[in-house]
Chains A and B, each alone.
Chain A
Amino acid sequence: MVDISIADATVEQILANQKGLIAIGAGLAVGLSGIASGIAEKDIGAAAVGAMAEREELFGKGLILTVIPETIVIFGLVVAILLLFL
């Protein structure tokens, strides 16, 4: 670990520090939104499988309903990409 206090940090150290924080932010954006989609999808997915067991032709509708919350994690990923690359 490099001990950094802002007062005697070099410019390079401060920049590196900022990069680290951005990386943490990007990680949180993907991770948390991933958990959120997971929570949302688990109930829908279970119900969709149940419905499919009754009527197999509901696969298409079931798939759609299941993947709707997935948009959340895509947004998270986009935010992460914007953070990292812009």
Chain B
Amino acid sequence: MLKAKKVSKAVIIGNKKLLHPTVDILHSIQCIHVEDFTEDDSFLTIGKPGEVASEASNKLVKLRSLTNFLGIKPTHSEKLQNEDAILNELDAKLEKLDSIVNELLDRKNVLGTELKNIDDSIFVLEPLSLLPLDLEYYKGYSSINAIIGYIQGEISGIEQEIRSITTNYELFSSPYNKKNVIALFMPVEYQQQVTDILEKYYFNDIHVPELMGNPGNIMAGMQNRKEDIQLELTSLEDEIADLKGKYMDFILASDEVLSITTEKAEAPLRFATSESTFIIDCWITDDKFHQVEDTLEKNFNGSVMISKLDTEKEEIESSTIPVEYDNPGLVKPLETIMDLYSRPLYKEIDPSVIIFFTFPLFYGLMLGDIGYGLVLFTLGMVGRAKIKTGGLRPLATLLVYCSITTTIFGVLFAEIFGFHVFGHHSIVAVLFGEHSALGGIFYNFHALPILDRLGKDDIPILLIVSALIGVVHLNLGFLLGFRNEAVSHGIKTAVLEKISWMVLQLGIAIFALAALGYIPVVGKTGGIVISVIGVVMLIAGEGGAAILELPSILSNTLSYTRLAAVGLSSVGIAYAINYIVTNLLFPEGGVFIILGIIVLLIGHTVNTVLGVVAPGLHALRLQYVEFFTKFYNGGGRKFNPFGYNRKYTEVK
């Protein structure tokens, strides 16, 4: 807690012949974070990948293209498969699946092409089917020109113009799609004149297909074939879906097995090797060191050794040390919030534990409503049940934490969906009658709310409380900053840069108390003197530019009044919805009751969504902007253990 897990730099050295067995073992225990070796002028070179590497990655490529074709997505799997069993049948199954899929793909392509050709033909045949000619009559003339196409405008107009050239012609036409389709047969010698006329009517040529017979009949045949093809395609899709259902487990499992094989085979590319030895440069968490040492000793009898450097003594730049969080399980979800900002540096305080308390506290204080709290609790629990892995699960857990504090503050504020729970305006008393047994209890219970956000008397208190929470939170930040500075730059800098702010606050507080008459007037002068001392310390620590930052102490503290303000806005919306429904809609009766219920449902749903987003962002912001800026640097590297988290397979 509060510190990253202790890690040390280590080297693993061994006989090159034992490289691959060593990789197998290290990969399965997942304890080391490998530093990639980059070749320099020394005699060391990067290792050679294992022989299986290229074969495995070829298979992986094939498998992934199958995955893609079948549309398989990673899922959560309950049953783990045996790795050896997968490996034994991998080649045969992959071959078989590949040929099945190829055959399906070919069929799909052939059908697709045929479908496209039919569509193209129908597009041409449809207008021609309106003319009373068979297809063979459009072609094969030597002295006659056959002109087939679309024109725009009146047929009678164009016929008149043609007649002015010659009466020796034959014209067939039919209206089609706001245009006219025509077939015009004329002696070849008039070609130029006819072209000129047609141009005026925006003539557009139709390319008559090389077929015989009545276009309408041909088209009907094609339509039938098209329906058949569509049926075949549907059954093909069913076959693919069947195949997917049948092979999904196998594909996911073998993808995992092959990924692991490739990763292991290619691992030597990250290590340094000499003629007969290999050297793995790595980081290891201290609690795992003996496990690794023992495992290597047991398996290789001294031919492969690990030894570690003391990170504390060595002057290692903090930002190069990989960071592994060291938090209890309850606090783990908050690490997501940390990573969202930036992982802490190795030597820095890891504030996950503090956020574990303050984030839900701020959230609950802002939302503070029993109704919304229970809704969010349900949402969070459903989310946890549905989402087993991945980045969203911690957020669901976080929602559960926040819903608990929301409910607690809801009890303190005695609010349920913006209604009073206790006292003379109690919703329970209104619903059941103040003289009923249940209603009476709520009606007469005046110990709650402790703070009434629905009335106006308690609101100034709420504002002051939130500002005070701010003071405590900020000073906690300064204290943590003091510790971080003391570790990295020494006590003196730490005092000047961080304690100075606390001195300044003390001065301001004494001055304010004296000015308000709570302590003797002397306090005013004392307060000013203390403040000046604080400012001088700050300038000594951070330089003259620090003066520009002085107002931030005020704006930072006042920023915490959002704890009250954001809460009031959410209460305000809930109150407005309830007022519209109970005071304006329900008294009208009839349809308005149904309308009222709809408004109530929609209104509170929207307010719940706002209730997740607004307090969440504001609680986050108070951490990131106000709190973190007092002590936190971040920028640490993730401790990424060499290995693979198996989801679908296991090794017996």
Contact = CB atoms under 8 A, between A and B. Distances in A.
B617 interface: yes
A77 B624 contact: no
A63 to B, nearest CB: 7
B342 A74 contact: no
Contacts of B141: none
Given A75-B558, A81-B459, A63 B624 contact: yes
B565 A84 contact: no
Given A71-B555, A71-B559, A81 B463 contact: yes
Interface residues on A, range: 10 to 19
B340 A85 contact: no
B449 to A, nearest CB: 16
A67 B568 contact: no
A86 B460 contact: yes
Nearest to B561: A78
Interface in A47-86: 57, 59-61, 63-64, 67-68, 70-71, 74-75, 77-78, 81-82, 84-86
A70 B624 CA distance: 14
B620 interface: yes
A64 B624 contact: yes
A70 B568 CA distance: 17
Contacts of A67: 617, 621, 625
Given A67-B625, A75-B558, A81 B568 contact: yes
B341 interface: yes
B604 interface: no
B15 to A, nearest CB: 40
A17 B200 CA distance: 78
B561 A59 contact: no
B22 interface: no
Contact of A63 (B558, B568, B620): B620
Interface string B607-646: 0000000000100110011000000000000000000000
Contacts of A57: 342
B459 A85 contact: yes
Contact of B565 (A63, A77, A86): A77
A74 B463 CA distance: 12
Given A67-B617, A81-B459, A59 B565 contact: no
Contacts of B621: 63-64, 67, 70
B7 to A, nearest CB: 21
A78 B625 contact: no
Interface in B318-349: 340-342
B569 A77 contact: yes
B524 interface: no
A57 B340 CA distance: 7
Contacts of A68: 625
Nearest to A77: B565
A71 B558 CA distance: 9
A85 B565 contact: no
Nearest to A68: B625
A63 B628 CA distance: 13
A81 B561 CA distance: 11
Interface string B554-583: 010011011011001100000000000000
Contacts of A85: 456-457, 459-460
A11 B341 CA distance: 57
Contacts of A71: 555, 558-559
Nearest to B625: A64
A16 B293 CA distance: 82
Nearest to B341: A60
Contacts of B559: 71, 74
B558 A78 contact: yes
Contacts of A78: 463, 558, 561, 565
B340 A59 contact: yes
Contact of A81 (B341, B555, B565, B624): B565
A77 B456 CA distance: 15
Interface string B452-495: 00001101100100000000000000000000000000000000
A86 to B, nearest CB: 6
Contacts of B569: 77
A82 B564 CA distance: 12
A59 B564 CA distance: 27
A6 B491 CA distance: 67
A84 B340 contact: no
Contacts of B565: 74, 77-78, 81
A82 B561 CA distance: 12
Contacts of A81: 459, 463, 564-565, 568
Nearest to B462: A81
A59 B624 CA distance: 12
Contact of A60 (B342, B562, B564, B568): B342
B561 A60 contact: no
Contact of A74 (B460, B562, B624): B562
A53 to B, nearest CB: 17
A73 to B, nearest CB: 9
A66 B565 CA distance: 19
Top 10 nearest A-B pairs (CB, nearest first) are: A60-B341, A77-B565, A85-B456, A74-B562, A85-B459, A67-B621, A64-B624, A60-B340, A78-B561, A64-B625
15 contacts: A61-B341, A63-B617, A63-B621, A63-B624, A67-B617, A67-B625, A70-B621, A71-B559, A74-B559, A77-B565, A81-B568, A82-B460, A85-B456, A85-B457, A86-B460
Given A71-B559, A74-B558, 7 more contacts: A63-B620, A63-B624, A64-B341, A74-B561, A78-B463, A81-B459, A85-B460
Interface of B: 340-342, 456-457, 459-460, 463, 555, 558-559, 561-562, 564-565, 568-569, 617, 620-621, 624-625
